[in-house]
Structure 1
Amino acid sequence: MNDRLSLKYCICTLIQGITLNIVPLATGYIFRIYSGEKPAPEINQWGKLFVDGWKINIVMILYAIPAIIIALIFGVFAFIPALFGPVATGQTPNVMAFAGVLFGLAITFVVILVLFLFAYMGVVRLGKTGKIGEAFNFHAINETISKGVGWLGYIGYYILLWLIAIIFIVILMILAIIPLIGWLLMFVITPLWAVFMARYMVNIYEAGE
């Protein structure tokens, strides 16, 4: 991205942050990157950026629903042993509830990891086709991954991305404690990270096209 484009994208990110993602202009730009447009696409047609941003938002919300449901179910079941378990086991309600919550969190975390394996490729497919339904075309997503880097390769790239993300978060935490300059750097590098991640996933997807 050139300086002018980077500045525009930072402005989009600022607007999206101020509006609490209600005006997802930065996400709309990521949609254009998912389409595979090269070189870096221009930031224009603001109305289309808004619509495309919401397409990605909708897809991610729909992908998150199963994890939310599972978390709620385990949250409810965690307190059933807390209420009735002590009668049979003699354990305290707090111990039973805590164990149930930990188990529920572990299951939810695994579900989220699996969902995001498909969600990342799903939003790239959304960008390629422009159709929300294609983000849930699991057969096509599986075929693309299998023909490209393969599932083992994809999981390896997926883990690598998470490791890079952890390093990035640590950097942000360090910058957060530096007044003004640190905050300014956070404002600049956070959008660049989003673009990097989008390009990263597009390259994986295009390997199987």
Structure 2
Amino acid sequence: MIDIWESAEKSAEYALAAIRDHPGRIPLLMGMMALFPLMMGYTARIYRGEPQPPDLSSPYGLFIDGIRLTIVQFIYSAPVIGAILLITSRQSRLMDLITHADRGLLFSPVGAVFFLLLGVVLLYAVVILISMIGLIRTARSRRIRDGFAFREITTHIRAIGSVPYISAVAFYTVVSLLLSLPAGYLIELTPIGYIPAFFIYVVITLFAARYFTLIYESGLPRRTVG
């Protein structure tokens, strides 16, 4: 059973320890945020469940691990990106339907647009729920195909608990949004704002990687001693 608060506290401690105990890594991690395959490779090392923040040795290994996760993430994101592009390409038509439709009719064009947007949101939610487990599976096995083993993924989600897992993902979504807002504001405020913003993004990334690792491990079989 997931203890969301405990997982969040442990993940926050993990992220803070990574920064406090290894300050020399901070500029490198901030730079890796721009070179996202390297940062994805670093999160892959965290996904493997080491209790201590991993080092930055073997940049080539980081890059290869990051490419694997990037491929998996891109494939999962493709349906959502496609749906958004489709809606964007029909934006003027959709606005015309809304403008000229009768108000208050569920099955009017306004209702159709509403259900279309709702469908995109639900698609995004499903992709997030499945892809997080898929990414961790790929990171641990170093095989891209394991990120799309849907039977094993859904079985693992059931082992975690469907409702607790959805709650854990929703909790992280809210937390990451709240933490990302000041970073976005700093970037808009001044070009120098990229420096503290990237620092915030590093903290969020470390927190997220450890948080979802703990969530994933809550669905693993318990080891018995003796």
TM-score (norm 1): 0.78
Question: 1: CA distance between counterparts of 2:179 and 2:57?
Answer: 29
Question: Pick from 58, 69, 76: which aligns with 1:56?
Answer: 69
Unaligned runs of 5+ in 1: 86-90
Alignment map for 1:28-43 (pairs within 5 Å): 28-43=41-56
State, as a whole percentage, how many aligned pairs show the same letter. Answer: 25
Q: What is aligned with 2:224? A: none
> Do the aligned partners of residues 9 and 141 (structure 1) sit closer, same or farther apart at CA in structure 2, a change above 3 Å counting?
farther
**What letter corresponds to residue 105 of structure 1 in structure 2?**
L
**What letter corresponds to residue 120 of structure 2 in structure 1?**
T
Task: Give the conservation status (yes or no) of the 8 Å contact 1:176–1:186.
Answer: yes
Alignment map for 1:15-94 (pairs within 5 Å): 15-17=32-34, 21=36, 24-73=37-86, 91=100
Question: 1: CA distance between counterparts of 2:29 and 2:94?
Answer: 48
**What displacement does 1:13 show?**
3.6
Question: 1: CA distance between counterparts of 2:113 and 2:22?
Answer: 45
Alignment map for 1:1-209 (pairs within 5 Å): 1-3=18-20, 5-8=22-25, 10-17=27-34, 21=36, 24-73=37-86, 91=100, 103-148=115-160, 150-176=161-187, 183-209=194-220
Question: 2: CA distance between counterparts of 1:178 and 1:75?
Answer: 28
- Greater relative CO, 1 or 2 (CA 8 Å, sep 6+): 2
> Aligned-residue CA RMSD in angstroms?
3.3
Give the length in aligned residue pairs. 196
Q: SS state of the match for residue 44, structure 1?
A: coil
Task: Give the conservation status (yes or no) of the 8 Å contact 1:74–1:101.
Answer: no
Question: 2: CA distance between counterparts of 1:180 and 1:80?
Answer: 37
